[in-house]
Amino acid sequence: MVWVFWTPLLFQSVMALQSESAHWPQFRGPHGQGRAPSSSLPIPFGPDSSVIWKKNIAPGHSSPSIWGDLLLVTTYESDQLTTQVLNRHDGSLLWKKSIPPTKIERGHRNGTPANSTPTTDGRSVFVYFGSYGLLSYDMEGNEQWRLPLPVPVTQHGASSSPVLAEGRLFLQVDQDISSHLLCVDAASGKQVWKTPRPGFRRGFSTPIAWPSEKPELVITSGTLRVCAYHISDGELAWEVGGLPNETVASPAFDDQHLYVSGWTMGAGVSRIPNFDELLENDKNKDASIARSEAIGPARMHFPYIDADKDGKIVRKEWETMSDIFRKSENALLALKPGPSLKSPPTLSWKQTRGLPYVPSPLAYQGHVYLVKNGGMISCMNTTTGEVIYREERLGALGDYYASPVAAGEQILVAAQSGVVSVIEAGNPELNIMFQIDLEETIMATPAIVENRLYMRTSQTLYCFGK
């Protein structure tokens, strides 16, 4: 029954990908999956090899999005939140629009106020800045609407990107207090619905619209669980547990499963002191714990536990996070859809090793690929979960923020350090086909369109091709 249900969706997805070969319209490309099967990578490439064009670019970690001849990217420069649209064939600037931030959000030391990736439907450009909100421009750069939003309540800033489906724009706002999923009308910018997400703490995952053709659900990965919401009204369709307290990776899917993953340090903490033990160090006897009074886990996780950021931890905040920490699980879950889209999926298999912190899983040609900090890559069979290889070393140490992307028979993985590795897809052993050091930090996920590779480093935007 499930196979009959999924087969038309797979056919539709293949046809859609073929017709969208000139588009990479959002974070991780078509349907948010990082796949460009009808393209190939221009190996070898590098700062002085296979360069169609390159240009200096202002700070920002948003990934390039592409529609036809246009390339979209955001930056933060001269205290302005800026949207730029370039000609993707020669890198020339077509238009550039800036807006002053309402208030610069607090962010991670590696982050910027331009973390979220633009999205487009070929008629409009949509961007999100945590320090301002949502904006829409037409393809010539004329502003269509703006929707100011509160600055995210999280010490790491915003990184979830907007997702477009069925004429609506979706933004997952998981933060330390008042988490929610927002839906606005893409044409007008008016709020359609806003669904509270109680129990969800900070998260940085970008949702997906599902299934890929005529989507009915928005799939979100967050604190302890993955949830599906109806696109029509924002009502919860189903949820499945088994994730850590904080997720960054976005969901993936193929013709068999949904894949959700999460990893955080200290997931499943076996013992956290009760609040009364903490109060033994409450020097001013106000029944709360200031940072100067915090010890152990309270000091280590203080900015996380202090949800309202008032500089102290109260009993409710502590007990809420204690419960979340105890239930937290690091895992990759392969979920088999139920007999209908609205039925909860079931767990087909689970992997608990080789898990990525930031990069999203890549489902490609019957395999799922995971990239772990330290330069380790794992590959599993999508049907059975059988490990093909696990935590094999790429020879590029350090952290990984960009998600892996695939083209033809190749998979590209980029380290924060600037080392880019290309491996052979589907090989039962890790085969590194090509490796190059671009010698600049890489945080953004690459885009692949019509055999051209678009990569953003800390200072340069590249177009590689033959």
Higher pLDDT, 10 or 192: 192
Higher pLDDT, 296 or 362: 362
**Tokens 């606005």 -> residue:** 184
Lowest mean pLDDT among 316-320, 397-401, 449-453, 458-462: 316-320
The continuous run of DSSP H or E covering 316 comes out as helix 315-327
Query: What pLDDT does 400 receive?
Result: 98
Range 413-439 average pLDDT: 98
Range 173-181 average pLDDT: 95
pLDDT at 191 over 70: yes
pLDDT at 9 over 50: no
CA 315 – CA 399 distance, rounded (Å): 35
pLDDT at 183 over 80: yes
Query: What pLDDT does 413 receive?
Result: 98
Higher pLDDT, 125 or 341: 125
3-state class percentages of the chain: helix first, strand second, coil last, to nearest 5: 10, 40, 50
pLDDT in tens, 289-311: 999 999 888 888 898 889 988 99
Range 447-461 average pLDDT: 97
Query: What pLDDT does 150 receive?
Result: 93
Q: Distance between alpha carbon 394 and the CA centroid of its chain, in Å?
A: 22
Strand partners, 448: 453
- With a CB cutoff of 8 Å and minimum separation 6, the contacts of 365 are 406, 425, 426
pLDDT at 5 over 80: no
- With a CB cutoff of 8 Å and minimum separation 6, the contacts of 291 are 299, 302, 311, 312
Range 331-355 average pLDDT: 95
CA 21 – CA 26 distance, rounded (Å): 14
Query: What pLDDT does 15 receive?
Result: 37
Query: What pLDDT does 270 receive?
Result: 57
Q: Mention the CATH class of domain 2-268+328-464.
A: mainly beta
343-355 per-residue burial string, b: 16 or more CB within 10 A, e: under 16: eebeebbebeebb
Band of the pLDDT at 269, cuts 50, 70, 90?
low
Query: What pLDDT does 268 receive?
Result: 59
Query: What pLDDT does 271 receive?
Result: 64
Range 388-399 average pLDDT: 97
Query: What pLDDT does 379 receive?
Result: 98
pLDDT at 336 over 90: yes
Do the Cβ atoms of 439 and 47 come closer than 8 Å?
A: yes
- Regarding pTM above 0.85, the answer is yes
Instruction: Supply the mean pLDDT for the chain.
Output: 92
Query: What pLDDT does 405 receive?
Result: 98
Higher pLDDT, 254 or 322: 254
Higher pLDDT, 156 or 134: 134
Query: What pLDDT does 445 receive?
Result: 98
Query: What pLDDT does 200 receive?
Result: 95
Do the Cβ atoms of 192 and 181 come closer than 8 Å?
A: no
Listed in order, strand segments (DSSP E) in 4-101 are 23-24, 35-36, 51-56, 65-67, 70-77, 80-87, 93-99
Range 254-264 average pLDDT: 96
Query: What pLDDT does 295 receive?
Result: 87
CA 243 – CA 221 distance, rounded (Å): 8
Range 192-206 average pLDDT: 96
pLDDT at 10 over 70: no
Domain ranges for the chain: 2-268+328-464, 275-325
Nearest to 61 by CA among 107, 98, 116: 116
